Amino acid sequence: MARLAVDGVPVGELARRWGVPRCDVFARLGSTLDAIHDLAAQGAPAGATVIAEEQTAGRGRDGRTWHSPAGGVWLGLLLRPARTELAAVPIRAGLALAEAVDGLLGRPETRLKWPNDVLLGDRKLAGILCEGRWQGSGLQWLALGVGVNVCNVPPMAAAVLRGAVALEEWLPAVRRIDVLDRVVPALARMAAGGADGGARPSQPSNAPRSRRAIGCAAAGSVRRRRVVLLA
């Protein structure tokens, strides 16, 4: 699998640019999650990152297929948390991604749909999946997968567009590197903080102070509520 650049930025510059210990970029992978699991088994440090130009076997929650053509952000990141509060990881990653997109748009537009979707205009922009590996009762690592429809090629089919959206519909000049430059450093800080609360997504001074989360589970029911980002 050949290493590539991302929107003209050489792969050798990406790790330093984003503050991660390593970043591998590939033309095609089955799944960035699988690549992260392989790196973790080889002893890679927390924050190790994998990007695929295209995934041939991308997956979502409950084994669903995630269509992953060229032009999207297909990202995997390794976490080695000291504790195992796993339910918080997709939400924290979703907040980081939502802040990144809102920062690019210059206004709050995204919403989080529990447990792992980021919506834009009531359609799915991105999905987040977290998989753990245990040895006995001890968690060894978490593989965090993030998929974002940015400027997918070919464009999504009409049947897909009914429920999904690409960021270029809202921001025609957007590039993958624009998204990655905002979201990877935030996820890297989360990895450095142990993935269970030691770090939070960065907030530019004009970032919204709260975010609407829809379909959050509470006391066994699904209800609408607001998630507040603490200072």
pLDDT at 90: 87
pLDDT at 160: 56
Q: Among candidates 48, 67, 45, 187, which has minimal Cα distance to 127? A: 67
Cβ atoms within 10 Å, residue 185: 18
pLDDT at 201: 38
Please tell me the pTM assigned to this model. Answer: 0.80
Instruction: Scan for tokens 């690549």, then name that residue.
Output: 35
pLDDT at 123: 92
In angstroms, rounded to a whole number, what is the distance separating the alpha carbons of residues 70 and 57? Answer: 13
CB 130 within 8 A of CB 146: no
Rg (CA), the chain: 16
Spell out where the chain has E strands.
Answer: 23-26, 49-52, 73-79, 110-113, 117-120, 123-135, 138-148, 210-218, 221-228
Q: pLDDT tens string for the chain (231 positions)?
A: 445 789 999 999 999 999 999 999 999 998 899 999 999 999 999 999 999 999 886 665 555 655 677 899 999 999 998 765 677 888 899 999 999 999 999 999 999 998 789 999 989 999 999 888 888 878 889 999 999 999 988 665 554 556 899 999 999 999 999 999 999 999 999 888 754 444 343 444 344 444 555 544 332 322 332 343 332
CA angle 18, 8, 188 (to 5 degrees): 15
pLDDT at 56: 85
pLDDT at 138: 81
In angstroms, rounded to a whole number, what is the distance separating the alpha carbons of residues 157 and 113? Answer: 23
Q: Which domains does the chain have, with CATH numbers?
A: 11-228 (3.30.930.10)
pLDDT at 1: 42
CB 111 within 8 A of CB 212: yes
CB 118 within 8 A of CB 110: yes
CB 139 within 8 A of CB 130: no
pLDDT at 64: 61
